[in-house]
Amino acid sequence: MTETELEQEQQLIDKEFKALMRGMKDRMDDEDRDLIKRAFHLAKDAHAEVRRKSGEPYILHPIAVAQIVSKEIGLGPASVASALIHDVVEDSDYTLEDIERLFDDQIARIIDGLTKISGVFDLDVSLQAENFRKMLLTISDDIRVILIKLADRLHNMRTMESMPQHKQLKIASETLYLYAPLAHRIGLFNIKTELEDLSLKYTEPEVYRDIVLKLKTSQAGELKYLKSFSQVLNKHLKKEGLDFTIKQRTKSIYSIRKKMLNQGVGFDEIYDKYAVRIIINAPPEREKAECWKAYSVVTDHFRPNTERLRDWISAPKANGYESLHTTVMGPDGHWVEVQIRSVRMDEVAEKGYAAHWKYKEDASGQSKLDRWISQIREMLENNDTSAIDFVDEFKMNLIADEIFVFTPQGDMKILPAGSSPLDFAFNIHTDVGLTTLGAKVNGRLVPLNYRLQSGDQIEIITSQKQKPKEEWLGYVVSSKARNNIKSTLKSEHKEVAEDGKAILERKLRYIKVKPSKNLIQEMVKYFGLKNSSELYYKLGLKIIDNPQIKQFMRDQSGGFYNYLKKRIVGRSKKSQQKAQDRPAKTSEKRFLVFGNDEEKLDYKMAKCCNPIPGDDVFGFITATEGIKVHRKHCPNAVYLNSNMAQRIMKAKWISTEQTRYSSVLVIKGIDTVGLVNKVTQIISNDLNVDIRNMNIAGAEGIFEGIITVVVQDKLHLEKIIEKLKKVEGVDSVERRFAER
């Protein structure tokens, strides 16, 4: 680089750092200012010769992360300093001991946590479930570790343009699968929303661009309407003497896409893309009353949809979110969502955990976030499932809806939606859950698999003679209940299995047979079991008894294994003979090649998304079925890319001889006379396409149909879709994929 270019870079670095310091001006004294400057100079030295993939100096990344930590999350000087040096120990010769010597043990602990979990957020490796479990352990030490890492991930997502497409997809999938829900649970609503939108930009770029374009087209008219709507509210709220501000809000791109999918509707049918937020300035003792007063003003002048009232003021969400949401009918027949909250509630909603430091949560002094962190500790301490199962279970806890129920004394408990009395019992105490005999809900006895509703009052009946049962696992949804039931069952299973092992050894000694490892494995196969533990367990329960063991020994000595051996060998020879007898192909069919070397490998099409030529696809190496080919936008793609990216292979279509593929279409619209004939005419006659299956049903003038057609490739399918959309009465035609 030229001297001029280097000087320009240095000016840019100084400019960004000065912007960071200006943003911290009101939150630091001279000592804090010195701390942040020392962190900056250390980071600048450590990353002096390093550049990002975009070509810019690496030091701009930690400065940007520190700005997010300061401005968007609202953390203090120690966190900002830690953000500036978050990569120093991992990427340079500086050690953790150097950090402790140059700063203090508090910052050293944060950097230690950030370094330990770097593999989870590393852009060059796949998300490892076991590392994620380790990451959660750091929450109990200092949640600022997670907050800084989320800021790190957000900046990486904002600057991914220069990365290869396959890495963009992997990183976006990881973010969407786990880190956006994690940001939501911690209460970082804005960061969660941006992570989701940026993830969609890379996982479904065409969909993302389409929604962005449509929002731009409709935004001017919608915002003009909301401004007019807000002026009416402003006038009447002022009459009531309320101190407030009104903001207009646009629904996020990701949430619009999610709603379109969930409701099976198009962009134009989403009616709450824009909303109005009323923020009340009131002292803590008056804020709830003032919010309800504002709600009364809104509903006095605009008719509310009573089914859309959401009261998170009386019963806040687990992440601390408090707000009143209602949807009202505005002028000209437009539905408008109105959110009402206090200044404090708004700050908690925007900045999550950082705002919890500023505001007391309840009389006990323990925040909702503290209680959630306690639940994480319990999950980690009591969980012995596989790492990937643990991550799946944890994710479900992140995104689960909640209900609010009461103890007989009137204390409120927050549980996941779908909880049973057993979930409630384990929430009270592990011993209560383990000894639950029955339950009363609102004064009447209910079964243990009863699904609780918000407002229910539950009384648990216990007995010291009661023990958890296998079927309880099907009754519970909370991690605490599931983990404790599994742990107890496993302990009991182990005791029974140990008895079974002793029984088997006695029986084998009696007939003078040594219980070797090979013999035990043969018994496992013979009885169709998973492993030796299951064999011992069934022996302990006497499900496998003396006559069955004797029969095994008779078969083992001759008949059974000889028969099995002949069958396997015969099948193998038959398969080889078929391959030899098969005539050589005169021409290749359409096929895929895999990896950077474009190898021709055996593969199967995944049934979850039924790829056809022209689709963007990837190969996934399964444990038992070889390579399965999935669409890049398959319902399972996010899960596979986020959890098992090391088993993903690049795949490319090679076009030779035409082959036929099945694809399923969903067609909806207004039921008209002769519609089925028109559809059949277009597909079979006009386009000469085979219909493998067709089912169209109508009710009250509306129809929905599922049609399976046989096509050559994606372009062929798109031609059929475009033709069908032109049929009178047809509202939408979409390709259908299976859900994960």
DSSP 8-state symbol, 177: I
DSSP 509-533: HHTT----HHHHHHHHHHTT-SSHH
Sorting pLDDT into bands at 50, 70 and 90, what band is 41?
very high
C-beta of residue 414 within 8 angstroms of C-beta of residue 404? yes
End-to-end CA distance of the chain: 50
C-beta of residue 335 within 8 angstroms of C-beta of residue 327? yes
> How far, in Å, CA of 347 to CA of 356, rounded?
9
Contacts with 194 (C-beta within 8 Å, 6 or more apart), sequence order: 154, 157
> How far, in Å, CA of 604 to CA of 361, rounded?
54
pLDDT for 15: 93
The residue ranges of DSSP E strands in 17-160, in sequence order, are none
For the segment 528-547, the average pLDDT, to the nearest whole number, is 82
**SS3 category, 87:** coil
pLDDT for 555: 67
pLDDT at position 537 over 90 = no
> Which carries the bigger pLDDT value, residue 295 or residue 49?
295
> How far, in Å, CA of 290 to CA of 280, rounded?
7
> How far, in Å, CA of 674 to CA of 282, rounded?
63
For the segment 296-319, the average pLDDT, to the nearest whole number, is 86
CB atoms < 10 A from the CB of 638, how many? 22
C-beta of residue 99 within 8 angstroms of C-beta of residue 43? no
Sorting pLDDT into bands at 50, 70 and 90, what band is 377?
low
pLDDT at position 187 over 80 = no
Range with the poorest average pLDDT among 54-58, 377-381, 628-632, 665-669: 377-381
pLDDT for 740: 42
pLDDT at position 85 over 90 = yes
Which of 94, 114, 3 lies closest to 44 in space, CA to CA? 94
C-beta of residue 334 within 8 angstroms of C-beta of residue 271? yes
**SS3 category, 553:** helix
pLDDT for 702: 80
pLDDT at position 539 over 60 = yes
pLDDT at position 556 over 70 = no
pLDDT for 35: 93
pLDDT for 625: 73
pLDDT for 424: 94
Catalytic residue among 9, 16, 32, 90: 90
Which of 291, 285, 415, 310 lies closest to 360 in space, CA to CA? 285
> How far, in Å, CA of 34 to CA of 77, rounded?
10
pLDDT at position 429 over 80 = yes
Sorting pLDDT into bands at 50, 70 and 90, what band is 278?
very high
pLDDT for 287: 92
Contacts with 613 (C-beta within 8 Å, 6 or more apart), sequence order: 590, 653, 655, 659, 661, 712, 713, 714
Range with the poorest average pLDDT among 264-278, 540-554, 571-585, 618-632: 571-585
- Domains recognised in the chain with CATH numbers: 3-203 (1.10.3210.10), 206-358 (3.30.460.10), 368-487 (3.10.20.30), 488-561 (no CATH), 591-654 (no CATH), 661-735 (3.30.70.260)
pLDDT for 659: 64
pLDDT at position 391 over 60 = no
DSSP 8-state symbol, 71: I
**Phi/psi of residue 163, nearest 5 degrees:** -85, 155
Which of 696, 718, 723, 698 lies closest to 707 in space, CA to CA? 696
pLDDT for 583: 45
Q: What is the mean pLDDT of the chain?
A: 80
pLDDT at position 386 over 60 = no
Amino acid code (one letter) for 212: V
pLDDT for 585: 40
> How far, in Å, CA of 518 to CA of 266, rounded?
61
Catalytic residue among 9, 56, 91, 350: 91
Which of 705, 707, 689 lies closest to 697 in space, CA to CA? 705
pLDDT at position 398 over 70 = no
pLDDT for 200: 93
DSSP 8-state symbol, 54: T
pLDDT for 503: 85
pLDDT for 610: 83
pLDDT for 368: 53
Which two three-digit tokens encode residue 50?
Answer: 């390093």
**SS3 category, 676:** helix
pLDDT for 43: 92
For the segment 642-658, the average pLDDT, to the nearest whole number, is 74
**SS3 category, 660:** coil
Which two three-digit tokens encode residue 168?
Answer: 């963009």
Query: What percent of the chain is modeled with pLDDT above 90?
Result: 21
Which two three-digit tokens encode residue 382?
Answer: 């009591």
* Total residue length of the chain: 740
> How far, in Å, CA of 260 to CA of 270, rounded?
7
pLDDT for 382: 52
Range with the poorest average pLDDT among 59-63, 155-159, 578-582: 578-582
C-beta of residue 712 within 8 angstroms of C-beta of residue 661? yes
> Which carries the bigger pLDDT value, residue 46 or residue 128?
46
pLDDT at position 188 over 90 = no
pLDDT at position 13 over 70 = yes
Sorting pLDDT into bands at 50, 70 and 90, what band is 668?
confident
H/E element holding 13? helix 3-23
C-beta of residue 63 within 8 angstroms of C-beta of residue 9? no
> Which carries the bigger pLDDT value, residue 679 or residue 280?
280
pLDDT for 364: 38
For the segment 159-172, the average pLDDT, to the nearest whole number, is 87
Which two three-digit tokens encode residue 369?
Answer: 């976030």
Range with the poorest average pLDDT among 144-148, 295-299, 681-685, 706-710: 681-685
DSSP 8-state symbol, 599: B
Q: Which of 154-158, 181-185, 558-562, 568-572 has the highest mean pLDDT?
A: 154-158
Which two three-digit tokens encode residue 164?
Answer: 């290869």
pLDDT for 725: 85
pLDDT at position 186 over 70 = yes
pLDDT for 122: 43
pLDDT at position 423 over 70 = yes
DSSP 8-state symbol, 400: -
> How far, in Å, CA of 665 to CA of 695, rounded?
11
Q: What is the CA radius of gyration of the chain?
A: 31
The residue ranges of DSSP E strands in 598-647, in sequence order, are 603-605, 617-621, 627-631
**SS3 category, 327:** strand
For the segment 711-729, the average pLDDT, to the nearest whole number, is 83
**Phi/psi of residue 636, nearest 5 degrees:** -95, -5
Which of 413, 455, 457 lies closest to 439 in space, CA to CA? 457
Q: Is the dihedral of CA 178, 179, 180, 183 positive or negative?
A: positive
Catalytic site residue 337?
A: no
Owner of token pair 């890319």:
641
**SS3 category, 398:** helix
**SS3 category, 244:** strand
For the segment 478-505, the average pLDDT, to the nearest whole number, is 85
Owner of token pair 């505005």:
330
Which two three-digit tokens encode residue 654?
Answer: 């090679």
Which of 449, 442, 447, 409 lies closest to 428 in space, CA to CA? 409
> Which carries the bigger pLDDT value, residue 368 or residue 73?
73
For the segment 589-599, the average pLDDT, to the nearest whole number, is 75
DSSP 8-state symbol, 584: P
Sorting pLDDT into bands at 50, 70 and 90, what band is 576?
very low
Catalytic site residue 731?
A: no
For the segment 159-187, the average pLDDT, to the nearest whole number, is 84
* 3-state helix/strand/coil string of 29-53: CHHHHHHHHHHHHHHHHHCCCCECC
pLDDT at position 401 over 80 = no
Amino acid code (one letter) for 426: F
